[in-house]
Structure formats: structure tokens, C-alpha cells
Structure 1
Amino acid sequence: MNSELTDPRTGRPRSTAPVSREPEVAAAVAAARTALGAWSALTPKDRARRLDRLATLIEDSAAEYAARERAGTGKPDAETAGEIEQVADLFRFFATAARTRTAPAAGRLVTGHESWVRWEPMGVVGVIVPWNYPLMMAAWRCAPALAAGNTVVVKPAETTPDTLELLTEHASRTLGEGVLQSLPGDRRTGRLLVESPVDMVAFTGSGRAGLDVAARAGTRRISLELGGNAPAVVLPDAPADTYASLAEAATYNAGQSCAAPARVITLTANYEETVTRLTEAMGARLAGRDFGPLNNPDQVARYDSLVASSSAKRQLAADLAVPPGEEHGHWRAALLLADLPHDDPTVTEEVFGPLLTVQHADTVEAALSLANGVPQALAASVWTTDLGTGLDLAARLDAGEAWLNCHLVQTAELPHGGRGPSGHGTDLSTLALQEYQRPKTVTVRLTPGPRES
């Protein structure tokens, strides 16, 4: 059974991909279980060496990865190049991080006994990743899981299996057979993977799908990153580059990023200036030249429906710069919505497109209330030259990641994760290793026991 893949830039069919069902899922999980013993028995140093070789192979094959990523997502070359570089860096980072372990206090905590804590891998980890960053989201999940000693079966999104197929080929050569496997398919494939005898599930995707994963996973550990609806609080004394920076972040990957700025919130006194300057900044970002298309017809339909349902009195769209021959692709122009109610669907829901809404409040406290007024709590930013005010607001924003005078600035060393409906768990940083490990306390009695007569 195969599914048809389309080119987001043209809307035309480009190839087909297999759709995995019960036999393929069972075989992949069994192979991962078989590989687990040898992989988890390696010392952190030996696993690190193999992960480093995988990172080198990714770098050496960057052109092929870029071609596959572009085929599935339509991303511009500059975006794919930067993301592939980050993927290689992530595997190297976690290879080293797993060698610098921390644990709760060890020693003689009970009289006559010595205790310590072992960090052990969860086992076989089922990973499900979305289509917006097919390779990078897989690396966010797979790199720490592998470094911690787990084996992984990863299911890519139905529309973007290309780069994971190559990654698992390279993993087979560098890590060993069965250590990292790709399981292409549709939503049913993902459900079958969650219901299979994996020891843990790591999922990145929508809130509704995350709830389904949680229900199917039962008592097994799950790690969920379920999307966001990031506010950007822009105060009247914001830096001069605020508007261009927000426009760039909002249109990167056509806005299809869980942490992208979505809701600009400013003060009433600065509202018209903010709308004017954001209109100029968004107008300078052209789909087809500066960013790519939406990924698939379902996302296009959802995006168009949200925009059509908006009560915004001002809808300010940029131009398109679609290359010849790509006129029928999933292109959408950068769009600014202003003069809209606080309960507008484009404010309360994650839009996932090249769109910014602009709201205003009379006071800073009221602006903070608007920022924290939606269920999602993944990322947020504050824009002001008053460092004290900025740090205070960043601390009070309900988000797992907050930026001051920047947005979407991330690195392997810093944790990323959501709160509430945006999920739980940690991607990136050494903290992510604990997502894929479980502690075991070992206590030894030092005093001799009674001897047999």
C-alpha cells in the first residue's frame, strides 16, 4: 500500500511512499527490541563515537538531505541548510551530554548503607513527528533518546517521509542495524505504533492528536509537544528592529512553527504605529522569495477557513513572488490582521501560517493578561528597551520559553517545552536526556549480617 506525495511548491504529484500497517509496525518494534541490548550496553563514550559518525555523515550528505527536505516541505535553500546544520549539531551535542551525567546525592545516606542512583534507558521509544520540520523535529526527539541508550522507531508525517528515510539509512551504517528505524505511513500507522509494545512514546503535533496519544499510551511514559500560539508583547519603547524581526520570525517556514510569533499585543497609545510598521515589515516578506508554501492541502484548507472566519476589520496582505511554474502550489501571502475582537478565531487558535494578529490594551498589566489569555503556553516574547520591565514580563509570561527583544532564538544547550495544553516534557539541553531515562536507586548494606551457625 502506497500514498501519493505532492510537491507543496507546485501542488503536483512527485512520488509515492509506503504506508506501514500491522506487519511493518510489529517488525520494526521487534527489530528495535533486538538491537536494544547491544546498544544500551555500550558505554556513553562508545555511543558518542557512533553518534558523532552519524553527525559527520549528515554533514557530508547535506546536499541530499536538503533536496529531500525541499521536496517534502518546499522550504527555501537557506532554511534547509540551516536546519540540517542544526541536526548534525544536535547529534553531536547529545553524544557529549550523555557523558556528563548528574544524579541525586549518593553516599551513606542511611547508617550502615551505601546508596547511589543509576540512570537507565526507557527501552524502545516510539517517536511521532510532524511535517513542519521533518528532519529537525526527529533529531530533537531521536538524538537524546539514542544518546540515553534507547532504540527508536520514528514515524514521519505522511507528507514528509523523505529525509527520515535517509537518516535511518545512515543510522544503520553508523549506529547499527535496528537502532533507529523509520516507519512511513498515515495517522493509523501512528496509532499502531503507540499501541505497539514500545516502552515510551514521544509525540510532537496537534493538541487533539496529543490527547489521543495519551489515551492510547496508558501508563507508559509520554513526552508531548502540542503546539503554541505565541504572543509578542510590544511596548512603545521597543527597539527599532522589532517589527522586521517579528515579520521574519512569523514567516519563517511560512509561519508553520509552534513557537513562531502569532499574536502581537501592544499598548493602545502605540497601536496605530505598531500596525503601520508591522504592515510595512510583513509587506517586505514575499512568499516564493523569502519563505516557502504551506505544506499540504489540509493545512491550506484549515488556514483559509480560519482567515475567512476572522472578524478583523483590516486584513493587510503582502504580495506574492511565486516562481514561474509554481503558481498552483500552496502559497499564501504574509498577512496582518488588525481591529479584531479578543476572541477572534485567529487569536484563540493556532493558525500555523504566515499571519500576525495585532491587539492592544490600555496598560502593561492588561497586555500581559491578553498574552496569557489563550490556552496554549509554549513560547512568547517581550520587546522593550527597558531591561527591568522586559525581564519582569518575561518572568510572568505563561510559557515554557520566553525571549526578550528576539524570537525563535534556540540552541541545543537551552531547553524547550510547553505547559498545559501545549504539552509537557523537554526538548533540547541536557534536561532532555531525563525524558528518555528512568532512575534506579541501588542501596547496599555495609554492616555484616548475622552469620549462620
Structure 2
Amino acid sequence: MKTTLTDPRTGLARGTAPVSREREVAGAVAAARAALPGWSALTPRERAVRLGLLAATVEAEAAEYAACERAGTGKPEPETAGEVAQVADLFRFYATAARTRTVPASGALVAGHESWVRWEPVGVVGVVVPWNYPLMMAAWRCAPALAAGNTVVVKPAETTPDSLVLLASHAAAVLGEGVLQVVPGDRATGRLLVESAVDMVAFTGSPEAGRDVAARAGTRRVSLELGGNAPAIVLPDAPPQTCAALAEAATYNAGQSCAAPARVIALAENYDRVVALLGAAMTERVAGRDFGPLNNADQAARYDRIVAASQAGHSATGTVEAAAGEEKGYWRPARVLADLPPADPAVTEEVFGPLLTVERAATVEEALALANSVPQALASSVWTTDLERGIDLASRLDAGEAWVNCHLVQTAELPHGGRGSSGHGTDLSVLALDEYQRPKTVTVRVGRP
């Protein structure tokens, strides 16, 4: 069985991909199970060497990986090139992180006994990743899981299997057969993987799908990253570059980033100025030149529905410069919607497009309350030249990540994870290793009887 793949730049078919069903999913899980004893028995140094080789392979084949990413996402070349470089960096980071892990206290903690903690892999990890960052989201999950000694079966999004199929072929050569498996397919394929004989499920996607995954996983370990709706509090003393920086972050990947700024909150005294500056900055961001299209027809229709339902009293809309032959693609211009009521769907839902809303707050405390008023709690930012106040507000924002005078600044060393309906668990940093390992306390009686 095969599914038709669509080029989001044109809206036209670009090829086909297999749809994995029960036999293929069970076979991939069995292969990962068979590879687990050998992979987990390697020392951290030996796994690090192999993960380093995979990173080097990604770098050597960067042009092919970038072409795969562009085919499925329509992203501009600079975006795909940068993301492929980040993927190689992630595998290198976790190759080293697994060798330098700290552990709880060990030694003679009970008289006559010696105790220590072993960190053991969970086993076979089933990973389900979305279409907005096909390769990078897979690396966020796979790199720490593999570094911790697990084997992995990945189900890519239906619209973007290309780069992960390529990664699996390279992984087989440098990590070993069965260590990293890929099962392309649709939602039914994802459900089959979640319900298969994997020991853990790591899922990145929508809250609705995440709840379904958690229910199907039962008592097995689950790590969930379920999207965001990030607020950006812009105070009257915000730096001059604030609106331009927010516009750039909000349109990167056409706004299809879980941590992207979505809800700008300004005080009454600077509200009109922020609306004007954001409108100007967003209209300067041109679809087809500065950012790509939405990923698929369903997402484009959802985006259009939310915008059409919005009760905005003021708006600004940018332009689209699609190339010849791309007129039927899923292009949407950068857009600002202002004067919105708190219950407006553009405010309460994760829009996942090149859109910024602007809300008015009478006081800083009200701005903070508005920022924390939605169920998603993944990322946030504060913009002010008063760093003491900025740091204080960052500490009071209910989100897994808070930036001051910047947004979407991330690196492998720093953790990323959500709260509330944005899920639970940690991506990135050494803390992500905890997601894919189990501690075992070993105590030996050494004293006299």
C-alpha cells in the first residue's frame, strides 16, 4: 500500500511512499528488539563513536538531507541547511553526554553495605514525530534514546517521510542493523506502533493525538510534547528591535513551530505603537522569499478557518511571492490580528501559521495573567530593557521555556519541555537522557555477618 506525497509549494503530487501496516510495524519492532542486547551492551564510548559516525554521515550528505526536507516541507534552503547542521550537532552532543552523566550518591550509605546506581535503557522506544521539523524532531528524540542504549522505531509524519528513510539507511550502516528503524505511514501506522511491543513511546504532535497516544500506551512510559501557544509580553521600555525580532521568529518555518511567538501582549500605553510596528514588520516578511508554505491542505484549511473566525478589530497582512508553478501551493502571508477578545480562537488555539495576535493589558500583572491564561505552556518571552523586571516576569511565566529580549533561542545544552496541555517530559540537554533510562539501585552487603 502506498500514499501520495504532495509538494506544499505547488499543491501537486511529488511521488509516493509506503504505508506500513501491522506486518511491517511488527517486523521493525522485532528487528529493534533483536538489536537491543548488542547495542545496549556497548560502552558509552563505543556508542559515542558510532553516533559520531552518524553525525559525520549527516554532514557529508547534508545536501541530500536538505533536499529531502525541502521536498516535504517547502522550506527555503537556508532553513533546511541550518536544521540539518543542528541534527548532526545533536547526535554529537548526545554521544558525549552519555559519557559524562552524573549519578546520585554512591558508596557506604548504609553501615556494612556498598550501594550504587546503574542507569539502564528502557528498551525499544517507539517514536512518532510531526511534519514541521521532520528530521530535527526525530533527532531530538532518537539521539538521546540511542545514546542511552535503547533501540528505536520511528514513525514519520505521513507527508514528510523522506529524510527519515534516508537517516535509517545511514544508521543501518554505521550503528548496526535494527538499531534505528523507520516505518513510514499514516495515523493508523502510528497507532499500530504505539500499541506494539515497544517499551516506551515518545510522541510529538497535537494535544488531541497525545491524549490518544497516552491512552493506547497504557502503563508504559510516555514522553509527550504537545504544542504551544507562546505569549510575548512587550513592555513600554522594550528594545527597539523587539517587533522585528518577533516577526522573524513568528514566521520562521511559516510559524509552524511549537515554541514560536503567537500572542503578543502589550500595555495600554504602548499598545498602539506595538500594533503599528508589528504590522510593519510582519508585512516586510514575504512568503516565498523569507519563509515557506504551510505543510499540507488540512493545515492550510485549519489556519484559514481560525483566521476567518477571528473577531479582530485591526489587522495587517503581508504578501506572497510564489514562484512560477507554485500558485496552488499552501502559501499564506504573514498576518497580524489586533484588538482581540480573550476567547477569540486565534488567541486560544495553537494556530501554527505565520500569524501574530496582539492583546491589550492595563497593567503588568494583567499582562502576566493573560500570558498564563491558555492551557498550553511550552514557551514564552518578555521584552524590556529593565532586566531585573524581565527576569522576574520570566520566573512567573508558567511555561517550560522563557526568554528575555529574544525568542526561539535554543541549543542542545538547554532543556525544552512543556507543562499543562503542552505535555510532559524533556527534550534536549543531558536531562533528556532521563526520559530513556531507568535507574536501578544496587546494594551489596560487605560487612561481617
- Smaller-chain TM-score bracket: over 0.9
- Specify the SS of the correspondent of 1:350: coil
**Aligned residue in 2 for 1:109:** 109
Superimposed CA distance per residue, residues 316-352 of structure 1 (whole angstroms, 9 cap, x where no aligned partner): 1101111111111000000000111111000000000
Q: Does 1:224 align with 2:224?
A: yes
Structure 2: distance between partners of 1:351 and 1:253: 13
State the AA in 2 paired with 1:381: S
1:46 aligns with 2:46: yes
Q: State the number of aligned residues.
A: 449
2:434 is aligned to 434
Q: Supply the distance in 2 between the matched residues of 1:263 and 1:420 (Cα, whole angstroms).
A: 17
Tell me if the contact between 2:112 and 2:448 (Cα under 8 Å) persists in the aligned partners.
Answer: no
Please state if 1:131 is matched with 2:126. no
The yes-or-no answer on 1:329 pairing with 2:329 is yes
Measured in 1, the distance between the counterparts of 2:404 and 2:339 equals 26
**2:52 is the alignment partner of 1:32:** no
Write the deviation string for residues 186-245 of structure 1: whole angstroms up to 9, x where unpaired.
001000000001000000000000000000001110000000000000001100110110
| Secondary structure at 1:110 match in 2 | coil
1:7 counterpart = 2:4: no
CA–CA separation in structure 2 for the residues paired with 1:6 and 1:195? 28
Query: Which residue identity lines up with residue 52 of structure 1 in the other structure?
Result: G
TM-superposition CA deviations, 1:365-413 (whole Å, max 9, x none)? 0000000000000000000000111000000000000000000000000
2:201 aligned residue: 201
Partner of 1:243: 243
Q: Helix, strand or coil: the match of 1:263?
A: strand
The 5 Å alignment of 1:160-239 reads 160-239=160-239
Q: Please list, as runs of the form range in 1=range in 2, the aligned pairs for 1:25-104 lying within 5 A after superposition.
A: 25-104=25-104
Q: Indicate yes or no: 2:412 matched with 1:412.
A: yes
Supply the AA of the counterpart residue of 1:258: C
What corresponds to 1:264 in structure 2? 264
Q: Is 1:277 equivalent to 2:309 in the alignment? A: no
Question: Deviation of residue 315 (structure 1)?
Answer: 2.3
1:110: how far off?
A: 1.0
Partner-residue secondary structure (3-state), 1:178:
coil
C-alpha separation in 2, matches of 1:231 and 1:340: 14
- For residue 352 of structure 1, what is the aligned residue in structure 2? 352
1:363 shift after superposition: 0.4
| Counterpart residue type for residue 336 of structure 1 | V
| Same amino acid, percent of matched pairs | 75
How far apart are the structure 2 equivalents of 1:315 and 1:386? 30
Deviation at 1:448, TM superposition (A): 3.6
TM superposition shift of 1:111: 1.1
Q: Is the 8 A contact 2:339 2:360 kept in 1?
A: no
RMSD: 0.5
- Name the amino acid aligned to 2:438: R
Unaligned runs of 5+ in 1: none
Would the aligned equivalents of 2:306 and 2:345 in 1 still touch at CA under 8 Å?
yes
- Cα distance in structure 1, aligned partners of 2:340 and 2:190: 38
Once the two structures are TM-superposed, the CA of residue 84 in structure 1 deviates from its matched residue by 0.3
Deviation (angstroms), 1:75: 0.3
Q: Which moved more, 1:253-262 or 1:306-315?
A: 306-315
**Are 2:74 and 2:293, in contact at CA under 8 Å, matched by a contact in 1?**
yes
Question: Within 2, Cα distance between the matches of 1:143 and 1:294?
Answer: 27
Report Cα offsets for 1:234-269 as digits up to 9, x if no partner: 001100110110000000000000000000000011
